[in-house]
Amino acid sequence: MKKGLLTLLFSLLYIILLSNEPVSYRLVNSDRLNINRSNDEYITQLRGNVHFFYNDIEFKANMADIFEMQQIVTLKENVVIIQDTLNITCEDAVYDHKNQYLRMHTNVVITEVHDTETLRKITSNRATHHIDSGEFILQGNVFAADLIDDIFARAGFAIFNQETGYGYMIERPVVWRAGADSLALYAEKIEYFEDTNRIIASYDVLTQNSDIEVKSDFLIYYGDENRIVYIGDPKFYSENGDGNADLITVFLEDNDIKEIQMEGNCFIEFSSNDNQIKENWINSDYMNLFYQNNNPKKFIARDNVNAFMVQNTQQRRNNMDNVVSGDLLNIIFNEDTNIEHLRINNSVRGKYRFERK
C-alpha cells in the first residue's frame, strides 16, 4: 500500500512539473524515475528500459536526463532515436529542442526506412543533425550505402542536406558501385546533387573498373544519362591501350563502358596482334572508341589524323610504310582485340600495308 501511494504521488508530482512545458512529452516506460532541482532547473532522471516521446521524436536508451527549462535531453547506452523515416542508434546522444539539433557519438548508425524497407544506411563515429535545415554532419569513419542501387561511399568527413539534396565528402573519399564489374571513384572532394542526379569530383580524380582507369583534375557524372565527363588533363589506361585528350567522356551501360569519346589534342597508343607493347599510336582532333562486352570493338578518329602501326616487330621492314595521315580513320577489332579492318579516307598521305600471313 505504501509503495503504491508513493508511486502515485511521484507520478502526480511528475505530471505537475511537466504540465507547464512548452513541448509535448510522453513517458512510455522507465524502471526508475527521479526528479531533481538545481536552481530553477528541474532535471528528470530516467534509468533502465527508458522509452519516451519528446515532441515528435521517439527516444529509447538505458539512461536519459531531461532538462525542463533548457529543453535538452541527454541519452546514454543503447540509444535509439526514431524520427519520421529515420532510425538512429548510438551510445551517446544530446537533443536540443530550442536549437533543433541532435548530436550523436560512438557507433552512430543512421538508417532510412520506407514501408519496412531499408533504403539507405550511414555509419560514423560522430554525427550532428540540424533538424530545421535537414543537414547531417558526419565525422570519423563515415560509411554510406544506398541499398536500392548498390552504391556505397566512404570518407573521413561528410555533409548531406535532406532538404536540398546536396552533400559532399572529403578526407580520402571513395564512391563505388557493387557488382561483378564494379566501378570506383576516388578524389579529394566528391559532391552529390540529388535534384539533378549529378556527382562532381575535384582534384586527383581516379575512376577504376576491372578493365580501365581514368585520371583527371575534375569529373562530372550525369546519372540520368550514365555519362562521365573528365576535365583537366584527363588520361585513361587499360591493358590494350592508353590515351589522353583535352576532354574525355565515358558512356556507361549496365555499369560497363559503352563508349569513350575524346575531344581536342587526342592521342592514343595501343598494342595489337597479341603484342602487349603499346607501340601503335594515333592522334587527331576527335576520337570515339566503342566497346562490346568490355572489349574495344570499333575506333574512329576524325580531323588531322596521324597514325603509326606496327604489325610485325620481328620482321625487318621500313616502318615508314605504316605511317599514314588523313581526315577520317576507322578501325574494326576482332574478338581478340586485334585489328581486323582499317580504313582511312580523305586527304590520305603515307601508306599502310597488312602483313601477309
> End of a domain among 154, 172, 190?
172
CA 23 to chain CA mean position, Å? 38
> In whole angstroms, what is the distance from residue 100 CA to residue 26 CA?
19
User: In what helix (H) or strand (E) does residue 307 lie, and over which residues does it extend?
Assistant: strand 295-308
Co-location of 119 and 256 in the same domain: no
- The predicted pLDDT at position 351 comes to 53
- The predicted pLDDT at position 343 comes to 81
CA 348 to chain CA mean position, Å? 47
Is-contact 286 303, C-beta < 8 A? yes
Co-location of 158 and 248 in the same domain: no
Give the type of residue at 204: D
We report the CATH number of the domain holding residue 43 as 2.60.450.10
Mean pLDDT by 10 residues, the chain (357 residues): 47 45 79 89 93 93 94 96 92 95 95 81 95 94 89 94 93 85 89 93 91 92 92 90 93 85 93 70 93 84 86 48 78 78 64 45
Co-location of 274 and 154 in the same domain: no
In a domain, 182, yes or no: no
In a domain, 321, yes or no: yes
In a domain, 284, yes or no: yes
Co-location of 28 and 162 in the same domain: yes
Give the type of residue at 10: F
Q: Which of 275, 278, 227 is nearest to 249 (CA)?
A: 227
> End of a domain among 126, 149, 172?
172
Co-location of 270 and 131 in the same domain: no
- The predicted pLDDT at position 261 comes to 95
In a domain, 307, yes or no: yes
Co-location of 142 and 233 in the same domain: no
Is-contact 297 339, C-beta < 8 A? no
> In whole angstroms, what is the distance from residue 287 CA to residue 302 CA?
6
In a domain, 231, yes or no: yes
- The predicted pLDDT at position 280 comes to 84
Is-contact 266 260, C-beta < 8 A? no
Co-location of 167 and 235 in the same domain: no
State which residues form the domain around 333. Answer: 226-357
In a domain, 212, yes or no: no
Number of structural domains in the chain:
2
Q: Which three cell numbers stand for residue 30?
A: 522507465
Co-location of 241 and 168 in the same domain: no
Q: Which residue has the cell 519520421?
A: 84
Length reported for the chain: 357
- The predicted pLDDT at position 19 comes to 44
Co-location of 40 and 164 in the same domain: yes
Q: What are phi and psi of 39, to 5 degrees?
A: 60, -120
In a domain, 80, yes or no: yes
